[in-house]
Amino acid sequence: MKFNFYFLDFPETRALFTVLEKHGIEARFVGGCVRDGLLGMTTDDLDLAVNSDIESVKKILEANGIGCLDTGIKYGSITVFVDKRKFEITSLRIDEECFGRDCTILETSDFEEDARRRDFTINAIYSSRSGEICDYFGGIEDLRNKCVRFIGDPTERIQEDALRIFRYYRMCAKFGDLSNRYHEILKNRADDVRKISIERIQKELFIILMSDYSFEIIRFMIEVGILHRIFPSINENKLHEITRSNLSIEGRLYLLFDTTESLKTLKLTRKYKSKIMEYKKFEGETPLYILYKKGSDFLSEMREINRIKNGIDMPEPDISSDQFPKFPVTFADLPPGTKDAQKKLNECEKWWANTEFQKNKDACMEYIERLDCRNDWNK
């Protein structure tokens, strides 16, 4: 493995360690930055474990002009900013009683005890300021073997925090662990996922869906019954095509959770909802009209969605977007008091685009007049 502990060279890192060491506090990087650094990868998640109570650490840092936020001080964690660089600092601890995400913690000065309460061996590797590695549970060997392995008894670790089910699959998707080694255990604990907030599930699921191993991992999750505990409907028949496509996360969600109920369950933000609504709005429209209204990137996605969903290849329009003329009718051209004016303009614009922009203003005005004769117009 090619080490890349780039975070040790940050001037902000040196400044932070200088303050901590001056007060006799030992700090070590742990978690994602060490794990990914061992693989030559980078991450913005810079987590530190310290052998001191977090309140004392906070006072020391603030006295030295370093900003702190009480993001998880109840659990021995603070967020620290040195200039604009963010660090998460957590005191060494033992998790005694866990109720989902809520734990009774006991502080310790033993780094190995702190490692014991972490989820996976690959997330329990520590690095000192000098780059000296402490690996208490064989995490480096597991990284070499693409092995995502729980520390201790997997059932107990999941009982402590059901989110670890999704974190396990997310790690497998990231590192390509397709062993499915915990299949029976996870199948037996599938009901536990009902205890997890959909916001936390969403974060893990999105990462899995966009990974190189999304097909295999989603299939594992379906087999153990985890996804069906949460979502009313999953498009299993199209899973391979969806996960092997070039679609965005919104496109994958639209096809995989292909019912209103399932998409509602996800509690998507406005950003995701609006794009999915656009898919619904333009499904069934001609490629030319889609290109005219939404551009080439959106058309590419709609063509892929149509191919996967309906098994039909939409033709590529023989015109580029920079050749589009301006729609010749405006709201001001309509007679005063025109009923459903905007709706008629939209309908006419679609008709005009689908005639390859050949109709002039007079033809468009005649089309709008004819719309009044349609019996179903106001239905």
Q: What percent of the chain has pLDDT over 90?
A: 82
Can you name the residues that pair with 78 across neighbouring β-strands? Answer: 89
Q: Answer yes or no: is pLDDT of 378 > 60.
A: no
Segment among 14-23, 49-58, 331-340 with least mean pLDDT? 331-340
Mean pLDDT across 354-376: 86
pLDDT band at 379 (very low <50, low <70, confident <90, very high): very low
Which of the listed CATH numbers 3.40.50.1100, 3.40.1640.10, 1.10.110.30, 3.30.450.190 matches domain 153-230? 1.10.110.30
Average confidence score pLDDT of the chain? 92
pLDDT at 99: 55
- Whether the CB-CB separation of 252 and 245 falls below 8 Å is answered with yes
pLDDT at 320: 76
Mean pLDDT across 71-91: 93
Q: Answer yes or no: is pLDDT of 113 > 50.
A: yes
Helical residues (DSSP H) of the chain, grouped into ranges: 11-22, 32-38, 54-63, 111-116, 139-144, 154-160, 163-175, 183-188, 198-209, 214-223, 239-243, 249-256, 260-265, 270-282, 287-294, 296-310, 341-354, 361-371
pLDDT band at 263 (very low <50, low <70, confident <90, very high): confident
What's the full length of the chain, in residues?
379
- The answer to pTM > 0.85 is yes
Q: Which residues contact 325 (CB under 8 A, 6 or more apart)?
A: 357
152-190 pLDDT, tens digit per residue, is 999 999 999 999 999 999 999 999 999 999 999 999 999
pLDDT band at 75 (very low <50, low <70, confident <90, very high): confident
pLDDT at 268: 92
Which long-range CB contacts under 8 A does 342-345 form with residues at least 24 apart? 344/368, 344/371
CATH superfamily assigned to domain 1-145: Beta Polymerase, domain 2 (3.30.460.10)
- Whether the CB-CB separation of 122 and 148 falls below 8 Å is answered with yes
